Amino acid sequence: DSGVTQTPKHLITATGQRVTLRCSPRSGDLSVYWYQQSLDQGLQFLIQYYNGEERAKGNILERFSAQQFPDLHSELNLSSLELGDSALYFCASSATSGGQETQYFGPGTRLLVL
């Protein structure tokens, strides 16, 4: 158990819908990262937040957004969902925001868009 929690574990929804994925980092970790894992793209970095502020952006679509709250939990919002958004979404946390940091991953949320 990494100490990072994600809810829900599974999500099934329809095209055009909007969903919210939730992540709670390890106690004391200020950084939260979001990743998408799919068969064709592999593991792709989406976005990072550090202590409530966006720190880095990767291959995140405009239909996707995220935020980190004062209690440091984070939410990833996916809207206007398409079939191709079906994937595993991981959250990871780390104590710092750069330098010799290690990311610890949550168990993931499996999203299926029908």
Partner 1 sequence: AQSVTQPDIHITVSEGASLELRCNYSYGATPYLFWYVQSPGQGLQLLLKYFSGDTLVQGIKGFEAEFKRSQSSFNLRKPSVHWSDAAEYFCAAYRRGSYIPTFGRGTSLIVHP
Is residue 4 a contact residue for partner 1 (CB under 8 A)? Answer: yes
Q: Is 57 exposed, middle or buried (0-12, 13-18, 19+ CB in 10 A)?
A: exposed
Binding status of residue 89 toward partner 1 by CB under 8 A: no
Which one, 41 or 80, has the nearer CB to partner 1?
41
Q: Which of 64, 97, 111, 114 is the binder for partner 1 (CB under 8 A)?
A: 97
State in angstroms the smallest separation of the CB of 16 from partner 1. Answer: 27
Asked if 95 contacts 28 with a C-beta cutoff of 8 angstroms, the reply is yes
Q: Could you give the CA distance from residue 8 to residue 109 in angstroms, rounded to a whole number?
A: 6
Residue 42 in contact with partner 1, rule: CB under 8 A: yes
Using CB under 8 A as the binding rule, whether residue 28 contacts partner 1 is answered as no
Place of tokens 């100490």: 3
